[in-house]
Amino acid sequence: MVQYDWRESEPKWQSKWKEWEIYRFDPASDKEIFSIDNPPRFASGNLHLGHAYGYTAIDFAARYKRLRGYNIFFPLCFDVNGTPVEVRVEKVKGIKASDIPRQEFIRMCSEFAENYIGEMTKQFEMLGESMDPSIYYQTDAEYYRRLTQISFVKMFKKGLVYKGHFPVNWCTRCGTALATAEVNYEHCMTQLNFIRFRDVETGDEVPIATTRPELLCTCLLVAVHPDDPSKAHLIGRELATPIFDKRIEVIADPKVDPQFGTGTVMICSIGDKDDLEWIMKYHLPLEEGIDKSGCMTSIAGEYEGMTVADARRQIIEDMRIPGLLIKQEDTDQNVGMCWRCGTPIEFLKVPQWFIKTTEFKDRVLAMVDEVDWHPEFMKVRIQDWVNSLAWDWVVSRQRYFATAIPLWECEDCGNVLVAEESECYIDPTETPPSEEKCSACGGRYVGSTDVFDTWMDSSISPLFNSYWERDPEMFKRLYPMSLRPQSHDIIRTWAFYTILREMLLIGEKPWNDVMIHGFIMAPDGRPMHASSGNTIDPMPLIEKYGGDAMRYYASTCSLGMDHAFKEQELVRGSRLAVKVWNVMRLIGSACGKRPERPEKVHPIDSWVLSKFGALVREVEARNDEYEFDRSMALIQDFLWHEFADHYIELAKQRAYSDNDEGAKYALYTVGLGLLKMASVFLPHVAEDAYQTSFKKNEEPVSIHISEWPEAPELDDDAERKGDCARNVVAAVRSWKSSNGLSLNTEIQRIEIVGETAAELMFGSEEDVRATLKAKELQVLASVELEESIKRIKPVHSRLGPEFKADAKEITEKLSSIDPTSFDIEEGLVRLTLSNGRAVELGPEFYKLEKHLSSDKGELEHISVDGFSVLIYR
């Protein structure tokens, strides 16, 4: 192969890596462990650009640490659980979960998700991700769910779990409770309805504005602001609600916004979070106007059985005719939606299991402080979230495809029997309890049909990974884990719940570092949404440009930021791969065997080694902060310019000669080092180049288990001198191309002139001469130069308009003036034309073409770094 072909190469190395098992975690090794709490990929099948980027960014960390000599723990894992799978199974099969037997539905979900795992594993391989299948897990497996249950039992026994009988966020479509973190707030335009209430005694009308008139049936109070003078007379009055004619009182409450609507608010049981607060505050009865499926209850009278939307429409119609509806206005409202399906959430009183959260806010915040957040500003997000929490975490869900809650409840008295740890994993709907009768009343125990919030499973991933409750020795070695990588949208869930749970269960932080990446947006910068039709499927892009090209794109994204997708970056990435391969091949062909460092290093070689040393240190510093975009940019720039354009050009002659070990040593050292650093980002081409050009001299079977390059000593003096040689070469080459000469054009002689030139150029003269194709090169302190005029060139654009018909004759006469007799001081040219006209031409009408010469002949002059480079063509 004389050209790099990723189509042939990428699949080849992917299968070799599997065969060699180079990514395998070695529990027997005494090397320091770097463990990654890899986000189990959700088993939904399709790879998004966000996944392709996110998992690749995590892989950068794994590959870097592997080269640094760590024993890497980087599990291949999948999240197989939860409502999204259920929703898709319902859709694909055209069924409703509640219509078929429970176990049958669970089996269908499991099969559905399982089908994707092979394909998703393949997609990871195509991206060159170095996850380890030997420590594989999936969250629906009994070995995993068992730990979720054990963790629950432990918390239950510590008194951290309770059953709450107050309203929870409820998705009427999914038919389940939701945690605060699972509610997304979105701005929607909705109608604010101004409706008439009536003062029972005086018959006066009291207008009230509401966005939810269908909740009139549950109206319990009307509130005004205590300092609102226009409403003072209402406080303590009794009003009658329209349609339902229910009697309610007007109270004063400082939470009322006197500027919103009419400044008079109806408090219902229960429309939104504010209602809920008022209900708690005034100890109001919880009358539910809406049931679990989102339909109106009997409280709603003639609206019973209608959906919320239908009831709203109908009640507005019904108020129109008797004039109870005054007017409607558009208003912008912040509506809570189910994060899975987008249905507006309701507050319903359905008893749920809670984990105590709010009382531990301070301890969670303290633990947040013990973790290193990358980027640092993401820490503020979790701190804000913790500070904003007003409710405990509701962990029960009324769903199917998830981990069962391991307990039974007495039908008669509600007494709870929780499973023993040794019984887990257990499905209490399938397995009878160990005690036959309720210990309190002798009643019958019934297994809980509730399941856990999916975050109950994922929030123990560090415990699962570190062999908690299975291998105390390994747990000691693996906990806390080194790194939790994740995206910013799940800070308030995954990151928060993990810290909370591990704080309560272990009392020690779950990881040392957190690395948070952003989203990939559509090319126009908007979020990608199927509904906007702007999603981009990464698979055709990977098939078009290759896995390394997609990884290159990922390497251009800075941590923590959202990025608009740029296909152009994949093009740049595939070009870089070819460049890397070609440069390494050149080194491979110049160096037959591994070159030794010579006693005395040539100045140009010292220069590149020192520059490379600085690069290695800088890349290490950036990688240690997970700023991989900065590293990739540095490596790319160095490889392409400093190394390929400058150093290789300067050292080529020596490298190919048989008696210069120094150039070979520098080429090999810097080349292989660069390749190793680039292998973090472009693992396929790096492996290919390693096998093609270096493997014959290197021990490790794969570049990915080789050692991170050692950084050569810095040498400021060598850098100063080498920069000088490089700049001379760059300047003469650019002079060649601006004069229409090819870079290979021979030059008779070059002089580098200046007081410090001899010192700066010492030792590199021959490299510079050969690179510039100069027959001779000399470095001098000074040269006597003479300036003379070579030609006088008429400026046609000035002469034509000024002299019209005479311009032609003037041009001829100007051109034929003998330049040696021209008096520059005078600056004026006097001519007499054939028609007798005498003209005087100032310097705007002609240009003097000067030339320089020395005793060696005619030359051209360019300035570089404060000295002169004289070129004798």
- For 68, phi then psi, to 5°, come to -75, 0
Q: How far apart are CA 33 and CA 71, in angstroms?
A: 5
378 touching Zn ion, by CB under 5 A: no
CB of 137 to Zn ion, least distance (A): 27
The residue (of 413 and 621) whose beta carbon lies closer to Zn ion is 413
The residue (of 418 and 677) whose beta carbon lies closer to Zn ion is 418
Q: Which stretch binds Zn ion (CB under 5 A): 53-61, 173-181, 551-559, 764-772?
A: 173-181
The residue (of 154 and 173) whose beta carbon lies closer to Zn ion is 173
CB of 99 to Zn ion, least distance (A): 18
Q: Which stretch binds Zn ion (CB under 5 A): 44-52, 249-257, 415-423, 511-519?
A: 415-423
Would you give the DSSP letter of residue 444?
Answer: B
Q: Which stretch binds Zn ion (CB under 5 A): 168-176, 261-269, 569-577, 786-794?
A: 168-176
The residue (of 174 and 685) whose beta carbon lies closer to Zn ion is 174
Look up residue 723 and give its two tokens.
């920069």
CB of 175 to Zn ion, least distance (A): 8
- Judged by CB under 5 A, the number of residues near Zn ion is 15
CB of 341 to Zn ion, least distance (A): 3
- Cβ burial of 733 (10 Å; 0-12, 13-18, 19+) is middle
Q: How far apart are CA 78 and CA 113, in angstroms?
A: 10
Q: Which amino acid is at 589?
A: S
Q: Which stretch binds Zn ion (CB under 5 A): 439-447, 520-528, 546-554, 670-678?
A: 439-447
- Among all chains, which residue has been given the structure tokens 């462990």? 33
Q: Which amino acid is at 716?
A: D
**Contact letters for Zn ion, residues 314-343 (x by CB under 5 A):** ------------------------x-xx-x
Q: How far apart are CA 26 and CA 32, in angstroms?
A: 11
| 8 A C-beta contact, residue 752 and residue 761 | yes
H-helix or E-strand spanning residue 192: strand 183-199
Rule CB under 5 A: choose which of 173, 356, 361, 773 binds Zn ion. Answer: 173
The residue (of 307 and 853) whose beta carbon lies closer to Zn ion is 307
The residue (of 15 and 98) whose beta carbon lies closer to Zn ion is 98
415 touching Zn ion, by CB under 5 A: yes
Handedness of CA 352, 353, 355, 359 (dihedral sign): positive
CB of 414 to Zn ion, least distance (A): 7
- Among all chains, which residue has been given the structure tokens 């870089």? 576
CB of 684 to Zn ion, least distance (A): 41
The residue (of 125 and 409) whose beta carbon lies closer to Zn ion is 409
435 touching Zn ion, by CB under 5 A: no
446 touching Zn ion, by CB under 5 A: no
Q: How far apart are CA 611 and CA 670, in angstroms?
A: 10
Q: How far apart are CA 77 and CA 74, in angstroms?
A: 9
The residue (of 438 and 674) whose beta carbon lies closer to Zn ion is 438
Rule CB under 5 A: choose which of 413, 743, 828, 862 binds Zn ion. Answer: 413
543 touching Zn ion, by CB under 5 A: no
Q: Is 206 left (phi over 0), alpha (psi -120 to 50) or beta?
A: beta
Rule CB under 5 A: choose which of 141, 366, 380, 441 binds Zn ion. Answer: 441
Would you give the DSSP letter of residue 742?
Answer: -
Assign 3-class secondary structure to 275-287.
Answer: HHHHHHHHCCCCC
179 touching Zn ion, by CB under 5 A: no
- From residue 614, give the alpha-carbon distance in Å to each of 214, 579, 626, 712: 70, 22, 18, 8
N-term to C-term CA, the chain = 41
444 touching Zn ion, by CB under 5 A: no
Q: How far apart are CA 542 and CA 126, in angstroms?
A: 8
701 touching Zn ion, by CB under 5 A: no
Q: Which stretch binds Zn ion (CB under 5 A): 369-377, 436-444, 774-782, 858-866?
A: 436-444
Rule CB under 5 A: choose which of 92, 366, 440, 561 binds Zn ion. Answer: 440
- From residue 291, give the alpha-carbon distance in Å to each of 246, 295, 350: 21, 5, 10
- From residue 853, give the alpha-carbon distance in Å to each of 72, 779, 824, 871: 66, 17, 18, 10
572 touching Zn ion, by CB under 5 A: no
The residue (of 11 and 443) whose beta carbon lies closer to Zn ion is 443
- From residue 366, give the alpha-carbon distance in Å to each of 393, 471, 481, 503: 19, 28, 18, 10
Q: Which stretch binds Zn ion (CB under 5 A): 407-415, 511-519, 608-616, 852-860?
A: 407-415
171 touching Zn ion, by CB under 5 A: yes
Q: How far apart are CA 301 and CA 185, in angstroms?
A: 31
The residue (of 168 and 757) whose beta carbon lies closer to Zn ion is 168
Q: How far apart are CA 86 and CA 104, in angstroms?
A: 12
Q: How far apart are CA 387 and CA 637, in angstroms?
A: 44
> Which of 374, 378, 624, 386 is CA-nearest to residue 499?
386
Look up residue 334 and give its two tokens.
């912040």
The residue (of 323 and 414) whose beta carbon lies closer to Zn ion is 414
CB of 576 to Zn ion, least distance (A): 44
Cα angle 57, 702, 128 (rounded to 5 degrees) comes to 30
Rule CB under 5 A: choose which of 153, 270, 290, 410 binds Zn ion. Answer: 410
Rule CB under 5 A: choose which of 438, 542, 577, 732 binds Zn ion. Answer: 438
The residue (of 47 and 337) whose beta carbon lies closer to Zn ion is 337
CB of 195 to Zn ion, least distance (A): 30
Q: Which stretch binds Zn ion (CB under 5 A): 25-33, 139-147, 166-174, 560-568?
A: 166-174
CB of 453 to Zn ion, least distance (A): 13
Rule CB under 5 A: choose which of 155, 174, 319, 424 binds Zn ion. Answer: 174
348 touching Zn ion, by CB under 5 A: no
E strand map for 534-655: 563-564
Q: Which amino acid is at 571?
A: V
The residue (of 309 and 440) whose beta carbon lies closer to Zn ion is 440
Applying CB under 5 A, which residues contact Zn ion? 171, 173-174, 338, 340-341, 343, 410, 412-413, 415, 438, 440-441, 443
